[in-house]
């Protein structure tokens, strides 16, 4: 056979090479899919335990509590060679119960759990089982988690309160828990966690419209009835998959096919978690959809738990770190951050409540990448966990956490971490306004109306015709399950695939990367991805237009709206503003009258805080130097941590209320020349902590020097 010569390459040889490679990749691809099915069945046979790579021991099984729940508290066991400092702040990781199983926060060495272990923290993990306890509610789960945290406090009486990391949907659960019992938690980390469900940018965040277009909470009630009182979490996973059809139906699978020689392990590990579907009770999913997805009650302070007690996020007393990403299409930054605007309104109110709120917005990482990406773990999560103690001592206010590369030999730090003061406007600039949220008010009203009709007329009929067999039968027919177990070793037709795959691996022959047909394949794949992305954009745009046409309609708003008239809302806002202004004035009087209280410790702490915030940027290096000073000083090191923390908060508020007066009254606290000289020396050390003396720091040093008469 003659060869067809083309300048630069031989088409016939490249075609044969590509055909062999493509055929082998096809066989290997289906073998990996077969292994995925086997992994799914194996995971099911073990009751779907957490997908952690770390060993753990169960401390409390929530199924044995007075009000049993399908949650348990476990302690992560350190690796060989790792040490745990029992007096260090415990780190508690809670994974989302949003259809998948637990463990995503510890599937790699470089993960939230892995990094906390490396930093010698005692690490605990709160996980859940596949099936809920019949009748359990979110209030029961919250109370069980409170019990877990109380147990952790008992185990570490000399350590600071445990820091709780809530991933995705576990974030709002963590916020609710801490708002209800702020005495048992330390700093909170809300990673990719939505607390403002109506927020978003027009044309960019379509997921928030789904509840309204489906008619509200009645649909989850219907699915729960079909499940005999259990809601199948696979429905939530499918909803997430349909959000990005290109990735679901093509890109993820093609990436495996194209990189079949190197991608198998990563793909199977991820699918082990992604294919683990967990259930909720009908009470749980109804509460979540009605109160959060559709009702958005948490940020309003209108969410009621047991005994009709309302959960108010203003009751949060511990620092909160919000980690969001502009590349997250499930929890966009607006849904992660806008609750701060709604709950507090102004930075002055945040300071009055002596609250510390820190946020960090990644430029491009996707939703899952926030929890599983190694690059994110090594940078953002590492610095968040490493800064827990510092965050607990920040002045009340709103900050953005900035991480930049750069060594600091003085404090042996790999990255430069700083906290820059921000305003409410800095959060609002991420949004395109909150006016679009008014369209969601009729959704909440119609949701309750539709669910009332369903519960009264249709639910009894569905429940009457549903049995345990039909419920399980429908669960097994779910598209996400049926694509897994039939393509496994329980299907005898997959035996030839397994046999051929072993032969292919033995005689594997890859095509050259510059093969013409390989390049053509990649272009073809890109065209399919572009087509699916175009479909997604048209679909999302259509759904957004439909939502606005329906719920933005003035007639709909007139008849289906719980909102008060504009005049009434304006009056309520006026009264609220007056009350807040009065509270701020009263708070200022308190701190102005306490300016001269205390002695050397209060004076030194005030100077340290003033120097740290002189340029409105608080560096981690300054905190490390301050910590060394406190730990080595004969007077300061004797102060109990709780008392020292209280002192820091008080001195911070004095500086924020009137910094000039706070500096002028230092002479009342530092009474001797020796105390003043020592305090000024400490101020100089803080100023030079980052090896840079800013103009603001230089000016403040001169002011302190003059005030103290040095």
Domain(s) of CATH 1.10.3680: residues in the chain: 594-708
Which H or E element spans position 61? strand 56-61
Domain(s) of CATH 3.40.50.1820: residues in the chain: 56-196+296-432
HEC profile of 12-41:
HHHHHHHHHHHHHHHHHHHHHHHHHHHHHH
Alpha-carbon 103 to chain mean position:
14
Alpha carbons 311 and 308: distance in angstroms, whole number = 9
**What's the confidence (pLDDT) of residue 145?**
97
**What's the confidence (pLDDT) of residue 2?**
46
How buried is 322 (Cβ within 10 angstroms: 0-12 exposed, 13-18 middle, 19+ buried)? buried
List the structure tokens of 313.
């996020």
Q: Which residue has the tokens 């938690």?
A: 185
HSE-up of 709 (CA within 13 Å, CB side)? 10
Cβ-based neighbours of 149, under 8 Å, separated by 6 or more? 92, 162, 164, 177, 181, 184, 185
Cβ-based neighbours of 534, under 8 Å, separated by 6 or more? none
**What's the confidence (pLDDT) of residue 571?**
65
**What's the confidence (pLDDT) of residue 204?**
85
Alpha carbons 401 and 420: distance in angstroms, whole number = 7
Q: Which residue has the tokens 């079909």?
A: 226
**What's the confidence (pLDDT) of residue 413?**
61
Alpha carbons 198 and 209: distance in angstroms, whole number = 9
**What's the confidence (pLDDT) of residue 621?**
84
DSSP states along 342-394 = HHH-SHHHHHHTT-EEEEEEESS--TTHHHH-HHHIIIIIHHHHHTHHHHTTS
List the structure tokens of 537.
């954009």
Alpha-carbon 410 to chain mean position:
32
Strand pairing category for 123-128 and 91-94: parallel
Alpha carbons 93 and 529: distance in angstroms, whole number = 36
**What's the confidence (pLDDT) of residue 323?**
97
Alpha carbons 421 and 660: distance in angstroms, whole number = 19
Q: Which residue has the tokens 């299409």?
A: 329
Question: Average pLDDT per run of 10 along the chain, which is 710 residues long?
Answer: 53 93 97 97 95 96 96 95 92 93 90 94 97 95 96 95 95 95 96 94 89 93 97 95 95 97 95 95 96 92 80 94 94 96 94 95 93 91 92 93 74 77 95 90 92 96 96 96 95 94 95 94 97 97 94 84 66 73 87 94 93 86 87 90 90 94 94 92 86 85 90
Class of domain 594-708: mainly alpha
Class of domain 56-196+296-432: alpha beta
């Amino acid at each position: 056979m003659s060869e067809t010569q083309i300048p630069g390459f031989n088409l016939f040889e490249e075609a044969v090479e590509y055909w062999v490679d493509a055929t082998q990749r096809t066989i290997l691809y289906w073998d990996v899919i077969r292994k995925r099915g086997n992994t799914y069945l194996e995971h099911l046979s073990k009751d779907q335990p957490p997908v952690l790579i770390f060993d753990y021991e169960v401390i409390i099984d929530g199924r044995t509590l007075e009000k049993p729940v399908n949650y348990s508290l476990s302690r992560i066991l350190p690796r060989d060679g790792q040490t745990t400092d029992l007096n260090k702040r415990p780190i508690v990781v809670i994974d989302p119960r949003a259809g998948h199983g637990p463990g995503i926060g510890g599937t790699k060495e470089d993960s939230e759990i892995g990094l906390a272990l490396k930093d010698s923290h005692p690490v605990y993990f709160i996980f859940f089982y596949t099936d809920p306890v019949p009748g359990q509610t979110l209030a029961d789960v919250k109370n069980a988690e409170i019990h877990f945290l109380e147990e952790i406090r008992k185990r570490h009486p000399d350590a600071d309160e445990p820091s709780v990391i809530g991933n995705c949907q576990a974030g709002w659960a963590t916020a609710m828990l801490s708002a209800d019992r702020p005495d048992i938690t330390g700093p909170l980390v809300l990673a990719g966690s939505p607390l403002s469900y109506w927020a978003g940018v027009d044309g960019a965040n379509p997921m928030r419209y789904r509840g309204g277009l489906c008619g509200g909470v009645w649909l989850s009630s219907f699915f729960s009835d079909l499940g005999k009182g259990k809601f199948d979490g696979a429905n939530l996973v499918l909803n997430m998959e349909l959000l990005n059809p290109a990735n679901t139906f093509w890109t993820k699978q093609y990436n495996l096919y194209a990189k079949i020689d190197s991608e198998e392990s990563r793909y199977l590990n991820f699918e082990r978690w992604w294919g683990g579907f967990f259930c909720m009770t009908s009470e749980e999913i109804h509460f979540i959809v009605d109160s959060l997805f559709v009702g958005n009650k948490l940020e309003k302070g209108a969410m009621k738990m047991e005994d009709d007690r309302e959960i108010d996020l203003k009751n949060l007393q511990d620092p909160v770190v919000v980690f969001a990403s502009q590349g997250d299409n499930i929890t966009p930054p607006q849904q992660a951050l806008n609750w701060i605007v709604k709950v507090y309104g102004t930075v002055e109110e945040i300071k009055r409540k002596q609250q510390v709120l820190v946020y960090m917005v990644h430029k491009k990482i996707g939703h899952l990448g926030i929890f599983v990406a190694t690059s994110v773990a090594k940078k953002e999560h590492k610095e968040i966990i490493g800064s827990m103690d510092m965050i607990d001592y920040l002045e009340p206010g709103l900050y953005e956490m900035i991480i930049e590369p750069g060594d600091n030999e003085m404090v042996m730090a790999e990255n430069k971490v700083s906290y820059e003061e921000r305003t409410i406007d800095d959060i609002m600039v991420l949004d395109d306004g909150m006016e679009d949220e008014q369209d969601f008010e009729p959704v909440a009203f119609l949701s309750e109306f539709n669910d009332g009709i369903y519960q009264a007329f249709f639910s009894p009929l569905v429940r009457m015709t549903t049995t345990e067999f039909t419920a399980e039968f429908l669960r097994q027919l779910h598209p996400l399950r049926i694509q897994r177990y039939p393509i496994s070793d329980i299907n005898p037709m997959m035996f030839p695939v397994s046999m051929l795959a072993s032969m292919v691996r033995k005689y594997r022959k890859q095509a050259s990367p510059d093969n013409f047909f390989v390049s053509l394949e990649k272009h073809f794949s890109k065209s399919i991805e572009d087509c699916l992305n175009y479909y997604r954009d048209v679909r999302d745009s259509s759904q957004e237009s439909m939502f606005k046409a329906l719920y933005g309609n003035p007639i709909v708003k007139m008849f289906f709206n719980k909102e008060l008239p504009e005049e009434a809302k304006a009056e309520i806002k006026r009264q609220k503003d007056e009350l807040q202004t009065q509270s701020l004035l009263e708070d200022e009087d308190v701190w102005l009258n306490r300016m001269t209280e205390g002695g050397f410790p209060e004076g030194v702490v005030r100077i340290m805080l003033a120097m740290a915030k002189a340029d409105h940027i608080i560096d981690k290096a300054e905190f490390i130097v301050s910590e060394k000073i406190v730990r080595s000083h004969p007077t300061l090191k004797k102060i109990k941590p709780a008392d020292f923390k209280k002192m820091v908060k008080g001195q911070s508020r004095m500086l924020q209320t009137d910094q000039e007066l706070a500096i002028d009254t230092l002479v009342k606290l530092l009474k001797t020349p020796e105390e003043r000289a020592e305090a000024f020396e400490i101020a100089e050390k803080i100023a030079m902590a980052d090896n840079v003396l800013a103009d603001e720091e230089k000016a403040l040093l001169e002011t302190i020097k003059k005030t103290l008469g040095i």
